[in-house]
Amino acid sequence: MKVVLALTFCSQLMAQNPIKNIVIVTLDGMRWQEVFNGADPTLLNNNKFTPDIKELSSKFWAETNEIRRAKLFPFLWSTVKQNGRIYGNRNAGNYVNVANRYHISYPGYNEIFSGYPDTAISSNKKIPNPNETVLQFINRQKGYEGKVAAFTSWDVFPYIFNSAQSGVYVNADIDTLKFSTPQFSLLNDIQFLSTKPIGVRTDVLTYMAAREYMKTYKPRVLYIGLDETDDYAHRGEYDHYLESANASDAMLADLWRTIQSIPQYKDKTTLIITCDHGRGDKIKENWRHHEKGIEESGETWIAMMGPGIIPAGEMQGRGQLYQQQIAATIAQLLGLKFRSSHPVAAAIEF
Ligand SMILES: [Zn+2]
């Protein structure tokens, strides 16, 4: 009975607010531990990872997990929690895992977007993805042609989305922003004249370029790939890792405000937020790393909000989702069924 009611409610929601657009944002290698518990006291109070403990504590420390996580991710733990769903709090028995065995980025993003944890995708090498992604699939559907775009900091995404063949517009690292508005022109100058502390375009410039593209060209599916959290964690800079996480949350809040201010998007856009892999725990400094041999680096999280998502807040109790389910979910939210020449995992059931 409960299921029937939920399904009826869901279809009623979808009928009232037809889902027209999807925006997906990923925070590379963002651990579920900080997403659900906030700043970790051991890492925060270790001078090796946090040179200025007092300063970082003043921003992100509080006695309880609930207050700490809300300091780190204020948008996630207010607007998204109230209006959407947040999966992956293992403390509450709610699990999200990657299905691929490698626990690194290209296999993770391939899994998210193709729905297929292909064992042949085993490295981050710049090799065109042989698997069709859901972005390519959607871009082929009537009404979506040329309306699917990706803006990313990491420069491997043109290969992950096989932009040369897929027709999906991918703007990665400091690809020239060849769009004729004063805003794009300014952003383009800034990205070429800025320092690159993480070796590729900084996340705020990736986000601003994506936002400008959204306002100007109104894509129906937009992907924004943020990267800094992973780079700073690898370096063992816990302060910069938390600050990047907090900045990503601020960008998500700004993105949602932008979405709700444009008639084409307002109340017709679903937001999906996730990551490509987790990281280890604190033993042997494994929080910095992720790889096949570090089991915890296969643990992730997913947040969703908008039409088609029945609000349920922080998901509690038994539950197991896999990253491979996201591709079919993206298609299903738009009323499409993602089929391809490779296997595609089933969508998440709401
Ligand atoms: Zn990494």
Ligand 1 centroid to residue 236 C-alpha, Å: 12
**Rounded to 5 degrees, what are φ and ψ at 299?**
-95, 125
Residue 237 counted as domain residue: yes
Q: What is the whole-number distance in angstroms between the Cα of residue 241 and the centre of ligand 1?
A: 12
* Distance in angstroms (rounded) separating the CA atoms of residues 47 and 209: 36
User: Is 347 inside any structural domain?
Assistant: no
Spatial CB neighbours of 210, under 8 Å, sequence gap ≥ 6 = 149, 151, 222, 224
Residue 11, both tokens = 């279809």
Domain extent at residue 32: 2-333
Q: Which residues have their alpha-adjacent CB atom under 5 A from ion ligand 1?
A: 230
Confidence band for 5, pLDDT divided at 50, 70 and 90: very low
Question: Residue 15: what pLDDT?
Answer: 44
Residue percentage of the chain with pLDDT more than 70: 95
pLDDT at 18: 58
Residue 343, in any domain of the structure: no
CATH code of 92's domain: 3.40.720.10
Task: Please report whether residue 295 resides in a domain.
Answer: yes
pLDDT digits (tens, 9 = 90+) for 217-275: 999 999 999 999 999 999 999 999 999 999 999 999 999 999 999 999 999 999 999 99
Mean pLDDT computed over every residue of the chain: 94
Output the pLDDT for position 93: 96
In a domain, 348, yes or no: no
169: three-class secondary structure by DSSP? strand
- Does residue 349 sit within a domain? no
What is the rounded average pLDDT of the residues 168-182?
94
Give distance in angstroms: CA of 104 to centre of ligand 1. Answer: 6
Torsion from C-alpha of 287, 292, 296, 297, nearest 10 degrees: 60
| Number of independent structural domains in the chain | 1
Q: Which residue type occupies 63?
A: E
Confidence of residue 19 (pLDDT cuts 50, 70, 90): confident
Tell whether the model's pLDDT for residue 180 goes beyond 90.
Answer: no
CA of 289 to the centre of ligand 1 (A): 7
Q: How far is 29 from 233, CA to CA, in rounded Å? A: 8
Is the pLDDT score of 192 beyond 60?
A: yes
> Residue 307's pLDDT is what?
95
C-alpha 336 to ligand 1 mean position (Å)? 32
pLDDT in the model for residue 350 = 85
Distance 315 CA to ligand 1 centre (A): 27
346 inside domain: no
CA distance 276 to 109: 6
pLDDT at 13 over 70: no
* 293 within domain boundaries: yes
